[in-house]
Structure 1
Amino acid sequence: MSFDSLEKEVREETPMALHKGEELHPDHPDDYLREGERWATEEDMSTLRRVSDRIPTAAFFVLLTEFCERFTYYGISAMFQNYVKNPYKAENSNPGAIDGGQQMATGLNNFFQFWCYLTPIFGAIIADQWLGKFKTILLFSFIYIIGDLVLTLTSIPASIRSGGALPGLIIAMITIGAGTGGVKANVSPMVAEQYGRYRPFVRTLKNGKQVVVDRELTVQSIFNWFYWSINVGGLSAIATTEIEANVDFWPAYLLPTLVFIICAFVFWLGRKKYVITKPTGSIVLKAYRVFSTGIRNYRAAKAENRLVLGEDGKPVNWINYAKPSLCADSGDISWSDKFVDELYMALRSCKIFLCYPVFWLCYGQMSNNMVSQSGQMNTGNVPNDIMQNLDPLCIIVLLPIFERFIYPAFRRCGLELRPVTRITCGFLVAAMAMAYAAILQHFIYITGPYYDMAGDDGNGFNHISAGIQVPGYILVGISEILASVTGLEYAFTKAPESMKSIVMSIFLFTNAGGSILAFCFNSISTNPHLVENFAIVSGLMGAFTVLFFVCFRHYDKRDAEETREKTIFEPASEKADFSEGRV
């Protein structure tokens, strides 16, 4: 089936068709009411409890797609550290294939993470300019499958023994990373786009109480469940590392490959249910022209002492000088004042991501140095790289608790945890996790029989239980719930409609920034320097937590005010009309 015929089958984004009992908003035809609902007033927003809406069926298809993709990603990447570091079928050693050592394993892991979170930039450009999100995800899924097949075929015993494992791994990493970029940049904004109600409305519950259904909370809920599906998929590493330890690498890689084939089929299966947004053209090229025009015109205005003043009496921002309404010669300008405003909104929202690379540096320790750390400890009858699955297990358990109990409890107390507050708390918990890992590594080094050489050159483990790692993984999981989920939510809600994939890909690119930072730590990502590694990462995260809060603490109040200004409420006098069947 061609992409053109696929496009005819999917439902493009249009005002929703009304069903029985539904009524459109008089000023906003994209919004509608179902029977038993009414538009919220300002009084409702201040007196009634705010809740999230039900998640649309189409969103569950996207959630299932993300589950399958993450099942594959984490299922294969969880084995990379052992696959590269250790020799194949060696006695008294963890499973391995390439025998490249700790530094090569950590370096390749960091490269893979960097590449996987660099490519979403290209995936977003392709989706926004040419294919749209649906077709981009489908196309890059096939590229992803090719990489999985290369990895599986080059991990068979004959290939490993003949030296094909390392080149096969590098080719697979590049191909899988490219596929990841097309999927990751578009699947997260697409899942939120399936919810098409924008204005707050009042719903009466079965117990007779009235609540305000709030889009902001619904999007937050969608991304919480989106992240939950990611971590359920991440549990695949339990199965693949067990197969790796007890059978071999090739069947461990084959399982995620088969699951991703199912992933592509499931995503295609929901094609008639999706809300599909059309590609909007070359945002990147147009943005470059806006920037250059704005800077050029601003410099000229400043030199000629003719700066434009805003409503507050202060000179307007430099980007405003790219607006056609302020340009003396706007003949070759192909954008509107609205596009410039949207671009400024996107830039302002992206500033909040500047501290995220340090957070991802902390998170990356979990898949490389903390795996090696567990290899220096007594793990009993389980493989050392299974320990990292404590993180997704923690998220699966705790995320619904945060969603259903902790966040609503704060709202009821009038202390709503808005995005910057949640991100700050997440950064702080990440710093605590790395501090805990540093302290634990110190105790590993002072415990015999191998001390600071445990796990190297065929050495066994020190006599200390790997169960002591559990609190560190729990802290990492909590930090993800607070910082990573909120970052996804913020990237979607603050990005203009025409730039959601680009802004989301910029947020994902911060993960690549974390991988670049990790390369700087490569020389101390080995024995006997792991205490320093964890301690420096912890201190860096603590410093950036303070910097983040100082720079962005006012964003919560500003964003709440902007959201309220954009929201259209019905006059309170119209509330009585609803009981008579009028809205």
Structure 2
Amino acid sequence: HDGKLAGFVVAIVTIALGTGGIKSNVAPLIADQYSRKSMVVKTKPKTGERVIIDPALAYHQIYIIYYGCIEIGSLSSLATPFMEKHIGFWAPFVLTFCAFCLALVILVLGRRFYVAQPAEGGVITRAFKVAALMVVSRSLDAPKPSWRATRGKSSVPWDDSFVEDIKKTLNACKVFAFYPIIWVCFTQLSSNLVSQAAQMETHGVPNDFMQSLEQITVLLFLPIIDRIIMPFLRNRGIILRPVTRIAIGFFAIGLGVSYAAIVQKLIYNAPPCYEHPLACSAAKVNGTILPNKVHIAVQTPLYICFGIASIHLNVAGPEYAYTQAPPSLKSFIQSLYLLTVAFGSALAMALVPVSIDPEVLWMFVGVAVTTFVVGASMYFTLRHLDRQEE
């Protein structure tokens, strides 16, 4: 293919390496700029009202803003389908390149203003050694120097507090273990749901334009949830801790995939091709291929569900990864959280053989049921971690 395939592979690998480096470090770097670590009571100078400054809520606010900025950038998907259609596929890539160049310039020029945690050599190696001792000794306290000293065990090059930090980190990893099915769901946004849109009457709208509704939903509902719903609940003594917010996200995205199955059934019930959209002789009219008679707008509710789920899952996950990790392991734990994306993508690839008509309907049903089951299992097995946050 004149080197095109090789160039494509190099581009994918390079993007993957860059994405891994950015996502695992940017979020912790942003959160590191907030220095308060304990709650304090302050008096507002204008009103005299005494308020509690809670770092946990501050970190939540930081990640809300961070995720909002990501979604603002994602609004480029409003333009890219039309750029692909009317200019060419090269145009969106140039747009992305220019955006990253601008971001790099801002990052370099502002580096002297950032609070940056010093790198600690060997900390990841020590973390794995601690975990190995826990497994071998079948005790979470076995790596502690104090535990080993009372039992005549060999000394170790860390202190008790480091082991406690690793125990908190393991709690975060328990939550992340449930995340791969979430990424299977989100993968549908750029794969099967795009194909589903192509099977309906688009009325001139590019079929990959609809996924932009997810970003629009996030930007609309993010301030509503953060500024209205969450304060309303807090004022009544209801604080949604990370595990609970993640469970809400599981439920919302499960609803979204369930609705996708309903839309697929509507398509299969519509002429001209019923269970084989775009693939029957009746669809060929005057040299064009007609989709089934279902309006593309019926997809809208599923993108709203995905957007609401995204607000909870993509804020609570990185936030929990940061707050549970020791300072020296924050980027590493963030990378473990992102590793679940790889597992989810692998699972999504395994579903490719059944992502064809008419089997894709049952694929949606299976993913939806699995999401509900995994979400419920996560909540009922790990909700005690929320109580530890209180």
Shared fold per TM-score greater than 0.5: yes
Corresponding residue for 2:27?
A: 188
Does residue 374 in structure 1 map to residue 374 in structure 2? no
Taking the aligned partners of 1:543 and 1:205, their CA distance within structure 2 comes to 50
CA contact (8 A) 2:124 2:329 kept: no
Corresponding residue for 1:179?
A: 18
Please state how far the C-alpha of 1:538 moved relative to its aligned partner.
0.3
Taking the aligned partners of 1:190 and 1:350, their CA distance within structure 2 comes to 20
Match of 1:284 among 107, 124, 133: 124
In structure 2, relative to structure 1, the CA distance for the partners of 1:507 and 1:460 (3 Å cut) is same
Corresponding residue for 2:374?
A: 544
Structure 1 residues 79-120: Cα deviation after superposition (integer angstroms, max 9, x where no partner): xxxxxxxxxxxxxxxxxxxxxxxxxxxxxxxxxxxxxxxxxx
Corresponding residue for 1:508?
A: 338
Structure 1 residues 513-567: Cα deviation after superposition (integer angstroms, max 9, x where no partner): 211211221111122222111111001001112211210122211221xxxxxxx
CA contact (8 A) 2:241 2:389 kept: no
Match of 1:392 among 198, 202, 215: 215
CA contact (8 A) 1:450 1:460 kept: no
Does residue 471 in structure 1 map to residue 301 in structure 2? yes
CA contact (8 A) 1:205 1:211 kept: no
CA contact (8 A) 1:290 1:322 kept: yes
Corresponding residue for 1:108?
A: none
Please state how far the C-alpha of 1:329 moved relative to its aligned partner.
4.4
Structure 1 residues 251-284: Cα deviation after superposition (integer angstroms, max 9, x where no partner): 2211111111111111111112100111111222
Does residue 555 in structure 1 map to residue 379 in structure 2? no
Structure 1 residues 371-413: Cα deviation after superposition (integer angstroms, max 9, x where no partner): 1111111222221111101001100111011110100000111
Please state how far the C-alpha of 1:216 moved relative to its aligned partner.
0.8
Please state how far the C-alpha of 1:295 moved relative to its aligned partner.
4.2
Secondary structure, counterpart of 1:276 in structure 2: coil
Corresponding residue for 2:154?
A: 330
Taking the aligned partners of 1:214 and 1:294, their CA distance within structure 2 comes to 33
Secondary structure, counterpart of 1:452 in structure 2: coil
Corresponding residue for 1:421?
A: 244
Please state how far the C-alpha of 1:205 moved relative to its aligned partner.
5.5
CA contact (8 A) 1:423 1:482 kept: yes
Structure 1 residues 15-60: Cα deviation after superposition (integer angstroms, max 9, x where no partner): xxxxxxxxxxxxxxxxxxxxxxxxxxxxxxxxxxxxxxxxxxxxxx
User: Where does 1:227-306 land on structure 2 (aligned, <5 Å)?
Assistant: 227-296=67-136, 298=137
Structure 1 residues 451-472: Cα deviation after superposition (integer angstroms, max 9, x where no partner): 2332459844222111111100
Taking the aligned partners of 1:445 and 1:367, their CA distance within structure 2 comes to 21
Taking the aligned partners of 2:219 and 2:319, their CA distance within structure 1 comes to 18
User: Where does 1:98-113 land on structure 2 (aligned, <5 Å)?
Assistant: none
In structure 2, relative to structure 1, the CA distance for the partners of 1:181 and 1:455 (3 Å cut) is farther
User: Where does 1:70-89 land on structure 2 (aligned, <5 Å)?
Assistant: none
**Structure 2 length-normalised TM:** 0.93
Corresponding residue for 2:166?
A: 343
Larger Rg: 1
CA contact (8 A) 1:295 1:321 kept: no
In structure 2, relative to structure 1, the CA distance for the partners of 1:294 and 1:353 (3 Å cut) is closer
Secondary structure, counterpart of 2:37 in structure 1: coil
Taking the aligned partners of 1:442 and 1:448, their CA distance within structure 2 comes to 12
Taking the aligned partners of 1:178 and 1:558, their CA distance within structure 2 comes to 35
Corresponding residue for 2:43?
A: 203
Taking the aligned partners of 2:129 and 2:304, their CA distance within structure 1 comes to 46
Corresponding residue for 2:268?
A: 445
In structure 2, relative to structure 1, the CA distance for the partners of 1:370 and 1:351 (3 Å cut) is same
Taking the aligned partners of 1:417 and 1:340, their CA distance within structure 2 comes to 28
In the alignment, structure 2 segments of 5+ residues that lack a partner are 281-287
Identity of aligned residues (%): 36
Taking the aligned partners of 2:12 and 2:24, their CA distance within structure 1 comes to 18
Corresponding residue for 1:433?
A: 256
Corresponding residue for 2:353?
A: 523
Query: For residue 194 of structure 1, what is the amino acid of its counterpart?
Result: Q
CA contact (8 A) 1:324 1:337 kept: yes
Taking the aligned partners of 1:325 and 1:346, their CA distance within structure 2 comes to 20
Secondary structure, counterpart of 1:385 in structure 2: coil
CA contact (8 A) 2:117 2:327 kept: no
Please state how far the C-alpha of 1:235 moved relative to its aligned partner.
0.9
Secondary structure, counterpart of 2:239 in structure 1: coil
Corresponding residue for 1:407?
A: 230
Taking the aligned partners of 2:5 and 2:202, their CA distance within structure 1 comes to 28
Taking the aligned partners of 1:379 and 1:250, their CA distance within structure 2 comes to 24
Query: For residue 310 of structure 2, what is the amino acid of its counterpart?
Result: E
Taking the aligned partners of 2:101 and 2:243, their CA distance within structure 1 comes to 38
Query: For residue 520 of structure 1, what is the amino acid of its counterpart?
Result: A
In structure 2, relative to structure 1, the CA distance for the partners of 1:257 and 1:545 (3 Å cut) is same
Comparing 466-475 with 519-528, greater Cα deviation is found at: 519-528
Corresponding residue for 1:565?
A: none
Please state how far the C-alpha of 1:186 moved relative to its aligned partner.
0.3
CA contact (8 A) 2:77 2:209 kept: yes
In structure 2, relative to structure 1, the CA distance for the partners of 1:164 and 1:442 (3 Å cut) is farther
Query: For residue 360 of structure 1, what is the amino acid of its counterpart?
Result: W
In the alignment, structure 1 segments of 5+ residues that lack a partner are 1-161, 299-316, 561-583
Please state how far the C-alpha of 1:431 moved relative to its aligned partner.
0.8
RMSD: 1.8
Query: For residue 414 of structure 1, what is the amino acid of its counterpart?
Result: G
Taking the aligned partners of 1:203 and 1:176, their CA distance within structure 2 comes to 48
Report how many aligned residue pairs link the two structures: 379
Please state how far the C-alpha of 1:492 moved relative to its aligned partner.
0.7
Corresponding residue for 2:285?
A: none
Structure 1 residues 203-260: Cα deviation after superposition (integer angstroms, max 9, x where no partner): 3163443322211111000000111111111111122211101111112211111111
Secondary structure, counterpart of 2:52 in structure 1: strand
Corresponding residue for 2:176?
A: 353
